[in-house]
Chains A and B, each alone.
Chain A
Amino acid sequence: MKNKVKYLAYPYMVWMAIFIVIPLLLVLFYSLTAGNINDPSSLSFSVNSYTRVFDVMYLKVIWKSFKLAIISTVFCLVLGYPVALIISTVKAKYKSILLMFFLVPIWMNFLLRTYAWMAILSPNGFLNRVLTLLGLPTLSIMPGQTAVVLGMIYNFLPFMVLPIYTSLSKIDRNVLEAAMDLGANNLITFLKVILPLTVPGIVSGITMVFMPAVSTFVISQLLGGGKELLIGNLIEQQFTVQRDWHFGSALSIILMVMILISMAVMSKVDTDNGDGGAPIW
């Protein structure tokens, strides 16, 4: 039985080879070649696309992508942790309803959510309209970096709250009572017991916010007004406007490698903490 059941997965092995492995190999291949993509015989090995990335202009874009993604991740963590903590302490009957209303916005279309911020922040949008009515000076947040970061926080905050909430709800109540019985006050209990126990949730929250934030091109395009280019916009342009697959592929490989490295670092933090239970400070 066991041997025969294995065959059930064989079609998917072929599928993965065609639709997961080969496409990534193609990207790697294009990143390492130069020439006309429509004429295979003109393609030759070249690392030109990678050396191009070291242009100051592109390095600035990559730096900005990381900067904005890190800022939004920090904001999501600082804003989101208390939310998870509060939801985990309310009465059971309110818990599911609170959680549900927290989820409603992420069930709405991602583009509509971003567009909603355009309607608020744009020069003649809702916010400036209200400010004018109140006789206050108008703000020019959009297009700009603040608007991009705001859009990222808005779109990705639930992805920070949910994993943290999950690890909070897994904490054994007796552990907290034990800490209190042994003389820890609320603050100490939080710092020495709750926080270390939720590190796995924090780590997956950070990953789930940082990854889409660093690779987005929609939020930067719509709320940055096309002026705040991020690495995602660069990749998108190479494939849709410039038609330079070689450079676009090199950028994609670089983005992929950088994300894999940051995730490896994050999971190291996670396992280091999980193994010995040693506090992180």
Chain B
Amino acid sequence: MVKFLKRFYLSLIFVFLYAPILVLIVYSFNESKSRGHWGGFTLKWYGELFRDRDIIKALYYTFLVALLSSIISTVIGTFSAIGIHNFGIFGKNIALNINYLPVLNPDIVTGVALMTLFISMNMRLGFLTMLISHTVFNIPYVILSVLPKLKQMNKHMTEAALDLGATPSYALRKVIIPEIMPGVITGALIAFTLSIDDFVISFFNTGSGVTNLSILVYSMAKRGVKPSINALTTLMLLTVVILLLLINRRTTKGDELIP
């Protein structure tokens, strides 16, 4: 009985989570353009999706910004974490608290604060400002996922490497970096997903025709959505499921991927 109730409850929650997505998937095969009316099965929205220049451009910027900002923030974040780890208590506290601000602050505050900075510096809002703002909110997450690995590391390992004649940079490359690699990878993944999914910060810090997927959906949702967005949802769900299944099979402990 309890088992049945558990299953029933879990199924209800899963229905709640997936029903909206399933509705969009059904609509993506709907011949009729209006949402409430079923006009027969079609694949034409999938064709239209790949011909729609706005969508393709938004996808391109979404991935470009996510890729660049996650690479930059992983590099800066990893080195900064190593540096901060070696700060005195006072310096470490200050650095970590400031680093924590973009995580604690609501996105909208981070977004408008950066916008006032860029406009005050007379920078034109566009690709560069969007890339910078994504890097600003990504680095703290990389640092926060690398620092625990540095704490776990045996302190004497670096000293041993140095005593055995390694130069500091050799010790960094051959001892420290490999030790903290899992944290670095987690950080990079978090940065990439946050960047792909971001709307609020991008919304305030982009312009000159540069949009990402979220901004495109937002402006469409206010005006009226093209059915090709439904097709995009279907393809995205498929990609996410396939990626997660692959990762799940490789690691067999899915817990690692939870940010």
Residues of A within 8 A of B (CB): 1-13, 15-16, 18-24, 26-27, 30, 79, 82-83, 86-87, 89, 96-105, 107-120, 122, 124-126, 128-129, 154, 157, 162, 166, 169, 211-212, 214-215, 217-218, 221-222, 232, 235-236, 239-240, 245, 248-249, 252, 255-256, 259-260, 263
Contacts and interface: CB of A to CB of B under 8 A. Distances in A.
Contact of A162 (B24, B79, B258): B258
**Chain A, interface SS category:** helix
Interface string B155-197: 0001100100000100110000000000000000000010011
B225 A104 contact: no
21 contacts: A5-B86, A9-B79, A9-B80, A9-B84, A21-B98, A24-B101, A27-B116, A83-B13, A96-B253, A105-B17, A111-B213, A111-B217, A111-B221, A115-B24, A116-B20, A119-B20, A128-B36, A166-B258, A218-B218, A259-B105, A263-B104
A23 B117 contact: yes
Contact of B80 (A12, A22, A98): A12
B18 interface: yes
B241 interface: yes
Contacts of B254: 96-97, 99-100, 103
Given A19-B132, A108-B237, A120-B23, A125 B83 contact: no
Interface in B49-67: none
A11 B21 contact: no
Specify the main secondary structure of chain B where it touches its partner.
helix
Given A9-B82, A13-B95, A108-B21, 12 more contacts: A9-B95, A11-B76, A20-B136, A23-B113, A104-B241, A116-B20, A162-B258, A211-B106, A222-B218, A248-B112, A252-B108, A256-B109
Task: Tell which of B20, B76, B83, B102 has the most Cβ of chain A within 10 Å.
Answer: B20
B258 A1 contact: no
A251 B163 CA distance: 56
A200 B138 CA distance: 25
B108 A215 contact: yes
B14 interface: yes
A214 B200 CA distance: 14
Contacts, number: 232
Contacts of B104: 259-260, 263
Given A118-B221, A125-B36, A12 B76 contact: yes
Contacts of B80: 8-9, 11-12
Nearest to B155: A2
Given A2-B86, A104-B237, A245-B116, A119 B27 contact: yes
B172 to A, nearest CB: 8
B124 interface: no
B99 A16 contact: yes
Contact of A222 (B19, B34, B221, B245): B221
Contacts of A260: 104
B91 to A, nearest CB: 8
B32 to A, nearest CB: 12
A235 B116 contact: no
Contact of A8 (B16, B83, B114, B221): B83
Contact of A19 (B27, B114, B229): B114
Contacts of B76: 11-12, 15
Contacts of B41: none
B130 interface: no
B31 interface: no
B16 A27 contact: no
A252 B87 contact: no
B23 A126 contact: yes
Most central of A5, A100, A162 by chain B CB within 10 Å: A5
B6 interface: yes
B240 A108 contact: yes
A263 B18 CA distance: 31
A252 B113 contact: yes
A250 to B, nearest CB: 12
Contacts of B35: 119, 122, 124-126
Given A19-B132, A107-B193, A115-B225, A8 B115 contact: no
A116 B245 CA distance: 24
Contact of B23 (A110, A116, A236, A256): A116
A236 B87 CA distance: 39
Q: Which of A107, A110, A169, A236 has most chain B Cβ within 10 Å?
A: A107
Contact of B213 (A109, A157, A162, A255): A109
Contacts of B196: 109
Most A-side CB within 10 Å, residue of B76, B108, B232: B108
Contacts of A5: 82-83, 85-86, 168, 172
